[in-house]
Amino acid sequence: MQTEVIIIGAGASGLMCAIEAGKRGRSVLVLDHCEKPARKILVSGGGRCNFSNRVMGPEHYISQNPDFVTSALSRFTPPDFLALLESHGIGYQEREEGRLFCNESASEIARMLRSECERAGVRLQFNCRVSEMIKTDGFRIETDKGIFTSESLVIATGGLSYPQLGAGNFGYLAAKQFEMRVTKLRPALTPLRFSPEDARVFGRLAGVSIASRVSQGDTCFQGNLLFTHNGVSGPAILQISAYWDQLSSLRVDLLPGLDIYSVLIEKRRSKTLLSTLLAQYLPKRFVKLWCDLHGAAKPINQYPTNEIESIARSLHGWALCAEGPEGFNKAEVTLGGVDTVDLSSRTMESKKAPGLYFVGEVVDVTGRLGGYNLHWAWASGHAAGQFV
C-alpha cells in the first residue's frame, strides 16, 4: 500500500502529527502494535489526563540541548490545545501549579483524537508489528499486515516507561538504524528504592505522607513525600528523580516553612516530651520512628542548645540515601532519547535521513511532572505534522 506519510505509534504525539498532516491534505497511515490507540493517555493523571500546564516554557524540560523545545512549544501552546478541547465540548479544570485536567475522563481526549483523525482522513492500523524499515526514495515498511511505502516516516513510539502498556525500544533501534545517536536512557518521574537495610527500617512507615522540600544540588522541589514498603514516592520524589545522580544523597527538609530550632528554643523550659511536640507538626508514626532512631526520648527541657541544633539540622536536612529508581515499570517517562543534535527543532526531521521524523517521548526531551510531557507530545507532533 502506498501512502504519503506513515506514522509508527498511535500515542499522543503520533496522533497529533497524523491529524495535522491530514489537515494539510496528506494521505496518512498510522501503525501501532497495540489493539487500541492512546493507551498511555488513558492512565494519565489518575484517569483524568493531566494534558498540559498553564505555565509553559523550556525551563520545565530536561534535555542535553535545553533550547531544543523552544520552537515547537512556541508554535503550539496550552491555549491552542484548550481551543481543541472546547471545540469538542470537553470540560477541563486548572489545579495547583497550573496543571490542567479533564473534568470527567481521559477517555474524552482519546475519543477526541480519534474523531480528529477521522475528520482528517487518517487511516489507523492496529495489531500491526513492524519487522523491517528500508530507506528507498522514500520508506518501505514491512509488517505482519503487509508492506507499506511512503514519502515520509514518523517514529512516535514513546520511551521505555509503562512496558505493561506496550512500551519498548523500537524508536531507539530505529534511530540507530539510520545512524542517529541516542543519549543514555533511564527511568524518570519514578519512586526511589531504599537499600534492603533501610527498607527494613523505613518500610514500617508505608503510607505515611509528609509535606517536604527535597533537594539534589541546586535543584529543589516541594510537595508530599510518601513512604512505601521499599522506598519513597510522592510528587516531590517523582520530580527530583529526574535529577538524582545516584552518587549523592538527597536532602529532605521535613518541615519547610517552619523554623523548628526557634520552636524548640522557645519551648526549652517545657517538660513536654520532644516526641509530643514534634507530633504537632509531623505524622505520629514518623515521629516515633525518628525519635527511636535518634534516641530522642527526653523532655525538651533536658536538651542542651547543641543537641537542639542537631535535632533541627536533622529535621531540616535529612540525608535520604536511595539505592536506585523503581524502574521503567513504575516510571512515568524515560529520561534521554534520540539525540536532538541529529534533529531539526523546527520540523523534528532527522538530519541524517531526509523524510524521517521523531516526535514525543522517544526524543531526548523530558518534562517535569505536571502535564509537561503530554504537552511536549502535542507540540512536537504538531511541529512534525506541518512538514511531513
* Each residue's pLDDT tens digit, 181-222: 999 999 999 999 999 999 999 999 999 999 999 999 999 999
pLDDT at 297: 86
C-alpha cell at 374: 503530554
Instruction: For residue 168, give every residue at least 6 positions away whose Cβ sits within 8 Å of its Cβ, in sequence order, or none.
Output: 157, 160
Instruction: Express as a percent the part of the chain with pLDDT over 70.
Output: 100
* pTM assigned to the model: 0.95
What type of residue sits at position 334? T
Q: Report helix angle 372-385 to 78-87, nearest 10.
A: 80
User: Among 91-95, 243-247, 303-307, whose mean pLDDT is lowest?
Assistant: 243-247
Question: How does the average pLDDT of the chain come out, rounded?
Answer: 96
Average pLDDT value for residue range 145-153: 98
Read off φ and ψ for residue 136, nearest 5 degrees.
-115, -140
Cβ distance 179 to 337 under 8 Å?
Answer: no
Question: What pLDDT, in 10s, does the model give residues 351-366?
Answer: 999 999 999 999 999 9
Q: Is 83 exposed, middle or buried (0-12, 13-18, 19+ CB in 10 A)?
A: exposed
Q: Is 146 exposed, middle or buried (0-12, 13-18, 19+ CB in 10 A)?
A: exposed
Q: Quick one: residue 356, left, alpha or beta (phi over 0 = left, psi -120 to 50 = alpha)?
A: beta
pLDDT at 288 exceeding the cut of 80: yes
User: Among 98-102, 136-140, 294-298, whose mean pLDDT is lowest?
Assistant: 294-298
pLDDT at 211: 98
pLDDT at 344 exceeding the cut of 90: yes
pLDDT-based confidence at residue 337 (cuts at 50, 70, 90): very high
Q: How many whole angstroms separate alpha carbon 10 and alpha carbon 157? A: 8
Q: How many whole angstroms separate alpha carbon 115 and alpha carbon 37? A: 12
Average pLDDT value for residue range 319-339: 94
pLDDT-based confidence at residue 166 (cuts at 50, 70, 90): confident
Beta strands 250-253; 318-320: pairing state: antiparallel
Q: How many whole angstroms separate alpha carbon 385 and alpha carbon 348? A: 9
Average pLDDT value for residue range 255-283: 96
Average pLDDT value for residue range 253-282: 96
pLDDT at 247: 75
CA 247 from centre of chain: 22
pLDDT at 82 exceeding the cut of 90: yes
Average pLDDT value for residue range 329-341: 96
pLDDT at 43 exceeding the cut of 90: no
Average pLDDT value for residue range 36-64: 93
C-alpha cell at 265: 528554643
Average pLDDT value for residue range 297-305: 94
Average pLDDT value for residue range 161-179: 94
pLDDT at 57: 96
Domains and CATH numbers, the chain: 5-186+330-385 (3.50.50.60), 192-325 (2.40.30.10)
pLDDT at 246: 78
CA neighbor of 162 nearest in space, from 373, 375, 320, 388: 373
pLDDT-based confidence at residue 44 (cuts at 50, 70, 90): confident
Read off φ and ψ for residue 322, nearest 5 degrees.
-105, 150
